[in-house]
Structures are given as C-alpha cells and as structure tokens.
Chain A
C-alpha cells in the first residue's frame, strides 16, 4: 500500500468543521487526491456534537493548557445536586453549533444540488417566542408567541388593532423590500438600527419592535435596517417553502455536525483519505509544494493546504446548554393543520428583560432554542435548551437567569429540573479568509443563532483555489449509479 508520503496531494484539508467538510463534499467528484485530517479524535471540529462523556472530556482538555485551543474557553460542566433521571452518556448529543437553517438558505440548495441532502434528516423549527418578565413581584414571567404570518396576526388577541395593521404593512414591505420603490424608502436608514426605521416610518411601538427584532435573531439586538430587512425577507419567504407552518429546519442528531459528517462521508466515497487524531505540527514551502509534518511523525507533500484560521481570541459568545427533565409542553405544537410537529422552538429574551443579582440589566438579548427528543439529542421525556448571548462579564450569570426564568414561565408543577449543564465561551473567528502562498485559511465559524449563508462563500473560494479555472458548476452533481431506478414499473 502506498504510504501517505508517496502521494503528492492536490489538497490537504485540516479540520472537519462545516467549512472544511463542505469543501470535501464539493471536491468529491473531482478525482483529486485529497487528504483530510483532523487533530481531534472526532469529526466536526468546532461544529461537533458530543455525548455527555465526550463533552466532559472536551471541557477537561480545554482546561489543560497543553491541549487548550483558542476557539473555546471557560468551559465547565455542572450536574445539579439532587437531580435524577439523567440517562446514559450516549443517549445525548450536545451540538456545539445548534443553528437553525432557514428553508431558503443557500446551504440547503447546495446540499440538494450535490445530492448530499438525502442522508440528513431535517426537522421543522416551529414557534418563535418573546420572553416577557414577570409584571409584578407575585407573578410569573411568560412567553408570547411572535406572529409572522397573516393568519398569526389575524387571530392574535393580544395585539391592539393599530399595531396589527402596522405589523401587516411592515411584513408586506419586507416581502417587496428589494424593489426600487421600496429601496428608496429604506436606503436612508440602511446603516441605522432597524428599530429606528420601524419607529419612524411604520410607527411601530416598542413592544412590537421587540417581536420584529426577535425574529431577526440578531446577536446584539442592534441589527441595522439593511441587515434586518435581509434576514426578515429570508424568514418570510422561507415560511411554507418545505411544508406548512415552518420557515426553518434543523438537522436531526446534532445540527450542523450532522451536515459536516455527511459531507465528509461524501468526500470519503469520492476517494479522499481521512485521518482523525492527526494535525500539522509544522510546514514549509518547497518551491510550488508544501511539506507538511504531521503530528503522527509522517511528512506529506501537498499542492495546497486548506485549514481554518486561528481564532483571534476576542470574546464572542457565551453558551449554556441545559438538559431538562421535561417535554416542555406547548413548545413543540404544530399550530397549522397539516403541519409537521416541530422539534425546535426559539425564545428571545430581549435586551433589558433580564438582570443580574446586582441589579444590572441585560445589555444584549439572550437567544434560546429548545430541542425536543425528536432531535435525537436527548431521550424521550427530556429536552435540551441552548442559550446564547454576547460574551460579557455578566453573560454567564445572565444565561443562568434566563434558564431559570424560562423554567418558571413554563408553569409546570413541579418545576422542571435541569439534569446537566454545560457552559462555555466561544471566541470570534477571523472574519475573512486569507491566502498565504499555497495555504488557504478559512475564517472561523459563525456565532449567529441561525445559519449565515456568508459562511459558504469562503468554501467556494477554496474550491476555486484547488481546482483552478474549471467549467463545472459548484456543488452540482448527479446521483451516483444505483441510487434511483425508474424502469422497475414496466416489468
């Protein structure tokens, strides 16, 4: 058998996060020699999904200076005292990238055109809620469902008539926002906060503004008009695209990690060689080629190397993952006749709706997604909550408060317990891809609660780098032989 060092690899891909995996998928029919390695013993990199044991091992590694990485830090696991009911470790799959994917997202159309979609099971993302803090000392906080369709608004009994009309006008405007006439109207507000535009042009009150901002899933809640309109447009035009009653999907068994795995599988079927537990110690250029010294002692030659940039180390987001011993009734209802039952719900805690014990009010929103056991991420009878917010000095406490407030708002008796909590901070990646001779550095993962199509552009750039000038369409393949067979009917 040829050893790895005998081949001149067309590309060595380091890391099996989403971007690198999609690159492997995009090259899977190219016939190129691809060596795809990952220093971890698992697939997925920063987009991986962990069992409980794997999560704890990961936390330990992060705490150890010799194995820490700059992408993640301050990680800890808590198993609350007295809680019962936690199942065996492999019954859980905690996603590091639990992003929801809008139906209109380019990622999905790429998965379809590359035929990789068949191996992923997508579940519906259902209702979006806004958290309302308790109005008074003896009262409970509550969740209000955000209306985003004409029917939602029409049948809603909590929004006053004037508000409904302005909301309808705005949603109509969003659907048409790319037209010349509409652009003239919002252009002056393009870089101002969306809230300004809502207030000044549509006379939408503060309460409804929080609904709209919540729909944008803006990490810092300060999204500009231009960005906000784009994402709202995506949400509204995604509604009903793949089926009644939902605008976004979520891959079963661990979110983005599942897509990364499927993409790597496609890469392997296409002939790429995979090696886990292998990283690059050092490298040097030798004329046109790279010499890569792998951590397993071998040295390989490659024409190109694609890897992810080192994290800049700036604080990005704080995340709290909590396993809850309840099915969270009411969170996963299909509200439209004939709609599939959702497996994910979204809850936004607007800025100012939470405070620390010292009385400091939350500057940024907290976004939470609740996953039912249908996601395969926890056993039946339990749910997983993913809470995210901008990393600050108070973010850890605010996330815990948000979790408590949510469980309070669930109004279940007895109150649902958390069985397992994982906390960590993820730092900001380099914003853009960079080229360094034959080395292509992909930017870090996106920290947004919903999948950002901009993540796909550097992958296509890398693909072009590896293949050079080609005529083939990106991510467009036909089914391999034996996948479909139409002629059986005539026998």
Chain B
C-alpha cells in the first residue's frame, strides 16, 4: 500500500531497496502526477475561474485522489463548483426563510464560528446571518436537486480519502465547506440530513480512535450546527450526555469524553429545569460513579480529572456555573470532608503490599488528591491547617518525596504553603 497518496497518519516511510522495474514504475507514476498537475495549473492560469469547469473539476478529482494534502487544488475545486457547477444564485440572496426560523433568532448566536478552532481557515459562514436557507425563490427545483447531488457527491468523494488520511486537515475543511454550502443552497431538511450523517461519521471516527481530540472538536462543531436555527435544530444536550456515557463505558481513560461531559452538565441541568433536590442527587450520582471507578483503577488520570471537576463545583462555585448553587457553606464542607475520607480509604488496598510501578502511580495520585483537597478545604474555611491535618500532610509529603523525587521542588513548595517549613 506504499504508493497511494495521502498522509499515512504521520508515519514516516522507511526507505527500502527497489528493483529496477519498481524504480521505473515509480518514475512513471511521478511523471503522470506531474503531468496532471501541470495541466490543471495551465488551465487555471489561462482562463481564470470560468475555465471549462467540468473538465477542470474532473482533473482535480484525479490529482486530489493522489494527494489530498495539495490544498491549492482543493481551492481550484471549490472555485469550479461555485463559478460553474453549482447553480447560480441571484445577487438578492436575502434570507427568505424568516418565517421558519422566527422564534429562535432571538437566542444567542450558535457559537459555530468561535468554537471551530480546528477548522479555522475554511469556515463558510461569512454571511452576517446564519439563518439562510434556500436562496430565495429565484432558484428552481431542478437546480436545487442538481446542487444536492453535487454536494452529496463531494462528500462521497472525500470519504475514502478520509479513510486513508484521517488526519488530513484539508479534507475535513473541505467537508465543512461543502456542508456550509448545503446550509446556504439546499432546503433545511436536506441540509440537516447531511449534517446528521456527518455526526454519524464523527462518531465512527471516534470509535476508531476514541481519544482523538480533533474528532471531539469536530463533533462539537457538528452538534452546534445541528442545534442551530440554520438547520432548524433543537438542543441535543441529552443525546450528547448519553454519548459520553457510552464512550466512558467503552473506555474509562477517555479524557475527552469526561471533559465533554463536564462541559455539558451546566446546560443539561438547566434544560432539565433541575431544582435543588434534583441537582443534589445528580451530584451524588456523578460522585458515586467516579468513586466506584476510582476504587477499581486509582491510577487513571482521566477519572481523577473528572473527580476534580466535581470537587471544584463544591470548592469554588463563585463566578462559574455550578451543579449545586443552593449548597450552603456547611453542605459543601461536609461533602468535601466526606470525599477526603473516601480517598483515604483508597489507600487501604496498598497497605502491606509490594508496590509495582502501577501501584506507585496510583498511590501518588491518591496522595496528591488528598493534599490538594485538604489545602482547599482549609482555604474554604478561611483557616490554617490544624495540628492533626499538618501531621497527615507531612506524612503524605514524605511519601510523595520517595515516590516522586523528580518533583522535589513542588513538594517543597507545598510544605511551605502548609507552613510546615522552618
């Protein structure tokens, strides 16, 4: 498979001995590639954009199959579409679908542009209003159907290329551009179907590589679009929350899934109209789950991350969306103390045991958590650690110095914070 185009996931090709015929075959392939490239460039240079769009289009197909990273050619392809193959849209391209999108226009603009940090260059939403649907009544049905076929064809074209080069930015950008064109040119229902399929594709990418954070970012963007008025959407927070359930069930260490979950919770609870009691039992359930998982694998950093997220809800609820805004200081203190006791219990299974590397990792995490939360507890109460706490902390720091000597400086700093030095 060494001669196909595209990036192989960034794996460098090792050089190998070639026979004379293999070398000649390679030279032939290079010659054909170069010829193709020259032809495209010549045509584009000669007659600008309106060059026999169809022929140019097919030439770009060939070249892009060989090298999907050649971004200039993607632009040539875009231009052939907009200047020739896709139906002409009148200059008076006003959003005439106000009636359908009416009630939702008042809500906050879908954060599509700002959240697409991974799809920066080719974001299609240059229009002031994202509510554009089919471009007015000046385009007839036939053109609409033709456009739909073309756009869907483009998605089909890029799909096998994606399978070969799943990390090629230009492919993903192009798909987003096509999908953006779908919003502009097609009836909402048709565009929506394409975006829904795209969500399916994003899910597939995530099952192939569960922790690909680009794929998570892409998914976020697609969901945002599907929720937006431009696609006649409504909130998908419940489905997305359930998705993080399934992803963490498949792999506890999926940091991205836990992270996404944490970001969905504020809106989830809002939309559920959760009252204080419901919020409290939600927090109980989440804490219960993560503690249950931590007791099985206290080494896992993603789990500790999520536990910390939940703890921050209790420790510093001011100025950020909180799960339990109605908790009094007392409530929060009692939860935090209970959590600290629970984490101490985790140490039990490591007593009188020979520790291997994994065990040491686990124990390290446990001590760190205990230190962080004990300090935070004191700060919350606006006091210094008392005698008993200082003894415990001193003990944990001693252990940590042995387990993690490379972070000696940090343990020294912590000792100072606790007033245990000098």
Please list the residues of chain A having a beta carbon within 8 angstroms of any beta carbon in chain B. Answer: 150-151, 153-155, 161, 164-165, 168, 172, 244-245, 335-339, 486, 489-490
Which residues of chain A are within 8 angstroms of B29 by Cβ–Cβ distance? 490
Q: Is the CB of B250 within 8 A of A151?
A: yes
CB distance from B255 to the nearest CB of A (A): 15
Instruction: Evaluate whether A150 and B249 lie within 8 angstroms (CB atoms) in the complex, with A161-B295, A165-B349, A168-B297 already known.
Output: no
Q: Is the CB of A336 within 8 A of B250?
A: yes
Q: Is the CB of B65 within 8 A of A150?
A: no
Instruction: Evaluate whether A151 and B207 lie within 8 angstroms (CB atoms) in the complex, with A164-B295, A337-B246 already known.
Output: no
Kindly identify, within residues 215 to 272 of chain B, every residue whose CB is under 8 Å from any CB belonging to chain A.
Answer: 246-247, 249-252
Kindly identify, within residues 319 to 373 of chain B, every residue whose CB is under 8 Å from any CB belonging to chain A.
Answer: 349, 358
Which residues of chain B are within 8 angstroms of A150 by Cβ–Cβ distance? 252, 296-297
Q: Is the CB of A154 within 8 A of B252?
A: yes
Q: Is the CB of A486 within 8 A of B3?
A: yes
State whether the Cβ of B66 lies closer than 8 Å to any Cβ in chain A: yes
Interchain CA distance A66-B358 in the complex, whole Å? 65
CB distance from B137 to the nearest CB of A (A): 43
**Option from A165, A244, A489 in Cβ contact (under 8 Å) with B65:** A489
Kindly identify, within residues 2 to 36 of chain B, every residue whose CB is under 8 Å from any CB belonging to chain A.
Answer: 3-4, 29, 32
Interchain CA distance A168-B295 in the complex, whole Å? 10
Q: Is the CB of A151 within 8 A of B295?
A: no
Which residues of chain A are within 8 angstroms of B349 by Cβ–Cβ distance? 165
Q: Is the CB of A165 within 8 A of B207?
A: no
State whether the Cβ of B316 lies closer than 8 Å to any Cβ in chain A: no
- Count B interface residues, CB 8 Å: 25
Interchain CA distance A337-B358 in the complex, whole Å? 27
Which residues of chain B are within 8 angstroms of A490 by Cβ–Cβ distance? 29, 32, 66
Q: Is the CB of A336 within 8 A of B252?
A: no
Residue on B with the closest CB to A169?
B349
Residue on B with the closest CB to A167?
B296
Which residues of chain B are within 8 angstroms of A486 by Cβ–Cβ distance? 1, 3-4
Which residues of chain B are within 8 angstroms of A489 by Cβ–Cβ distance? 4, 65-66
Interchain CA distance A489-B29 in the complex, whole Å? 10
Which residues of chain A are within 8 angstroms of B296 by Cβ–Cβ distance? 150, 153-154, 164-165, 168
Please list 6 pairs of residues, one from A and one from B, whose beta carbons are closer than 8 Å in the complex, sorted by A's number.
A155-B292, A165-B349, A172-B358, A337-B207, A337-B247, A490-B29
Which residues of chain A are within 8 angstroms of B4 by Cβ–Cβ distance? 486, 489
Q: Is the CB of A154 within 8 A of B3?
A: no
CB distance from A394 to the nearest CB of B (A): 40
Residue on B with the closest CB to A336?
B250
Residue on A with the closest CB to B289?
A155
Interchain CA distance A164-B204 in the complex, whole Å? 32
CB distance from B252 to the nearest CB of A (A): 6
Q: Is the CB of B250 within 8 A of A338?
A: yes
Instruction: Evaluate whether A154 and B207 lie within 8 angstroms (CB atoms) in the complex, with A336-B250, A337-B247 already known.
Output: no
State whether the Cβ of B293 lies closer than 8 Å to any Cβ in chain A: yes
Q: Is the CB of A151 within 8 A of B358?
A: no
Which residues of chain B are within 8 angstroms of A335 by Cβ–Cβ distance? 249
Query: What are the interface flags for B65-80 relative to A under an 8 Å C-beta threshold, 1 for contact and 0 otherwise?
Result: 1100000000000000
Q: Is the CB of B250 within 8 A of A337?
A: yes
Interchain CA distance A231-B249 in the complex, whole Å? 26
Residue on A with the closest CB to B28?
A490
Apart from A337-B246, A490-B66, 10 more pairs, CB < 8 Å:
A150-B297, A155-B249, A161-B295, A172-B358, A244-B207, A244-B250, A335-B249, A337-B207, A337-B247, A338-B204
Instruction: Evaluate whether A154 and B65 lie within 8 angstroms (CB atoms) in the complex, with A337-B246, A337-B250, A490-B29 already known.
Output: no
Interchain CA distance A339-B206 in the complex, whole Å? 12
Residue on B with the closest CB to A176?
B356
Pairs of residues from A and B, 8 with the lowest C-beta to C-beta distance, nearest first: A338-B207, A337-B246, A154-B296, A336-B250, A154-B293, A337-B250, A165-B349, A164-B296
Q: Is the CB of B292 within 8 A of A154?
A: yes
Which residues of chain B are within 8 angstroms of A168 by Cβ–Cβ distance? 296-297
Which residues of chain A are within 8 angstroms of B206 by Cβ–Cβ distance? 338
Q: Is the CB of A154 within 8 A of B250?
A: no
Q: Is the CB of B292 within 8 A of A151?
A: no
Residue on A with the closest CB to B251?
A151
CB distance from A179 to the nearest CB of B (A): 11
Interchain CA distance A458-B36 in the complex, whole Å? 56
Interchain CA distance A335-B206 in the complex, whole Å? 16
CB distance from A337 to the nearest CB of B (A): 4
Interface centre among A154, A164, A245, A338 (most CB of B within 10 A): A154
Interface centre among B1, B66, B204, B293 (most CB of A within 10 A): B293
Interchain CA distance A245-B249 in the complex, whole Å? 11
Interchain CA distance A144-B158 in the complex, whole Å? 45
Q: Is the CB of A165 within 8 A of B295?
A: yes
Residue on A with the closest CB to B207?
A338
Which residues of chain B are within 8 angstroms of A164 by Cβ–Cβ distance? 295-296
Interchain CA distance A150-B253 in the complex, whole Å? 10
Which residues of chain B are within 8 angstroms of A165 by Cβ–Cβ distance? 295-296, 349
Interchain CA distance A168-B356 in the complex, whole Å? 14
Which residues of chain B are within 8 angstroms of A244 by Cβ–Cβ distance? 207, 250
CB distance from A389 to the nearest CB of B (A): 34
CB distance from A48 to the nearest CB of B (A): 37
Interchain CA distance A335-B247 in the complex, whole Å? 11
Interchain CA distance A151-B289 in the complex, whole Å? 12
Which residues of chain A are within 8 angstroms of B32 by Cβ–Cβ distance? 490
CB distance from A234 to the nearest CB of B (A): 22
Interchain CA distance A432-B129 in the complex, whole Å? 79
Instruction: Evaluate whether A154 and B297 lie within 8 angstroms (CB atoms) in the complex, with A486-B3, A489-B65, A490-B29 already known.
Output: yes
Interface centre among A151, A244, A245, A486 (most CB of B within 10 A): A151
Interchain CA distance A244-B246 in the complex, whole Å? 13
Which residues of chain B are within 8 angstroms of A153 by Cβ–Cβ distance? 296
Interchain CA distance A172-B250 in the complex, whole Å? 18
Which residues of chain B are within 8 angstroms of A337 by Cβ–Cβ distance? 207, 246-247, 249-250
CB distance from B13 to the nearest CB of A (A): 15
Interchain CA distance A153-B252 in the complex, whole Å? 11
Interchain CA distance A168-B292 in the complex, whole Å? 13
CB distance from B363 to the nearest CB of A (A): 14
CB distance from B98 to the nearest CB of A (A): 40
Which residues of chain A are within 8 angstroms of B293 by Cβ–Cβ distance? 154-155
Q: Is the CB of A336 within 8 A of B249?
A: yes
Residue on B with the closest CB to A243?
B207
Q: Is the CB of A151 within 8 A of B66?
A: no
Residue on B with the closest CB to A338?
B207
Query: What are the interface flags for B277-307 relative to A under an 8 Å C-beta threshold, 1 for contact and 0 otherwise?
Result: 0000000000000001101110000000000
Q: Is the CB of A151 within 8 A of B252?
A: yes
CB distance from B18 to the nearest CB of A (A): 15
Interchain CA distance A154-B293 in the complex, whole Å? 5
CB distance from B210 to the nearest CB of A (A): 8
Interchain CA distance A151-B254 in the complex, whole Å? 11
Interchain CA distance A150-B303 in the complex, whole Å? 13
CB distance from B183 to the nearest CB of A (A): 28
Interchain CA distance A368-B293 in the complex, whole Å? 31
CB distance from B303 to the nearest CB of A (A): 9
Interchain CA distance A335-B250 in the complex, whole Å? 8
Interchain CA distance A298-B3 in the complex, whole Å? 54
Interchain CA distance A146-B3 in the complex, whole Å? 45
CB distance from A166 to the nearest CB of B (A): 9
Interchain CA distance A245-B349 in the complex, whole Å? 29
Q: Is the CB of A151 within 8 A of B249?
A: yes
